[in-house]
Structure 1
């Protein structure tokens, strides 16, 4: 099976051109397919011609008069050698993007033991004014590819967009999660999973403490 193309990878590729060229055996993840529909991304494969894209391997030669995102696309001209050079440059750009997006959050994960008495939950500075929300990472990208930590909500709520996957375990109190038109009311011992790409509202009518786990570990790098 070919390389899996995630939504994060597709988003980066679309910054270069909305006509994204993929290898014939590459596979789009479900979230990537949804993103393609949302952003109007055209997926080109192999040597097909789709919406004015001429594919040669992973390179794209834009034709005269083709419109992309409402802007006129410049025409590639010159000798065959120049065209090959430009195709090679585009391949390098795509490879650089893929290498950056697909690289692990932590190059050398290590075992870690975090003692509970050393954990101090800090005020979450991204919370709306007046909302008492606390957060602390206890495992992050410095030691692993999976992050974890603690959140607290004191009669407060936090609207948030997750551009990463998250699992929450309620330690104490009542934890309320609004996502995808659903409202989950979780109590101590309950587990909630939130898929990447979700617009959510975390809250608690009283006080709650939640243990969270996110993938990838550098979740903050994916926050808009």
Structure 2
């Protein structure tokens, strides 16, 4: 039985349990310390991609990008509605917690809102035009072949929810991201929702290095959540 066949029927999750918010292409380039030139000719996976517009803009620039997320099992119209609701709720909450953020990039809450709405609009428009780029999946399993992609990007999921996702989940998910990557995996940020560094990060790095992987904790130019300005870069050394 093929890996994708084994997973059929496992991706559906009630929409009210899905948070559908995304970041823009510009944010991704800074979060992951990417340069457009280094992405040319590479196959890229964004997972979990949510309502991010990286795939849409990168593909428009001629790059080979696939997005994967548990949410993609739902109708696009429903996702768009949910994204608008989630963004509105997030902005209301942000107004009450402004001191937890660095405002250099966005300026104010209205600036964040513009980026989130633009990302959502670009994402759903691209989903309608190119649904083949958007693949439903439930981590820690992915319906892709081994080393199908050169680079895998993973933003705002791992480590952020360490209060509800245990170490084994994080490790198994990273192992799966590495399985489908031929070169490297980049994860951002390295802090939880409270801005605290993931408590098992050193253990994780040691485990990965013990498997022969090259692991680098790298500070990036993007910081919105306080202490959220580092990514983990995991390279295959062969």
Q: TM-score range by the shorter chain?
A: under 0.3
State the structure with more CA Rg: 1
Higher strand share: 1
Question: Comparing both chains, which one has the higher relative contact order based on Cα–Cα distances under 8 Å and sequence gaps of 6 or more?
Answer: 2
Q: More helix by proportion, 1 or 2?
A: 2
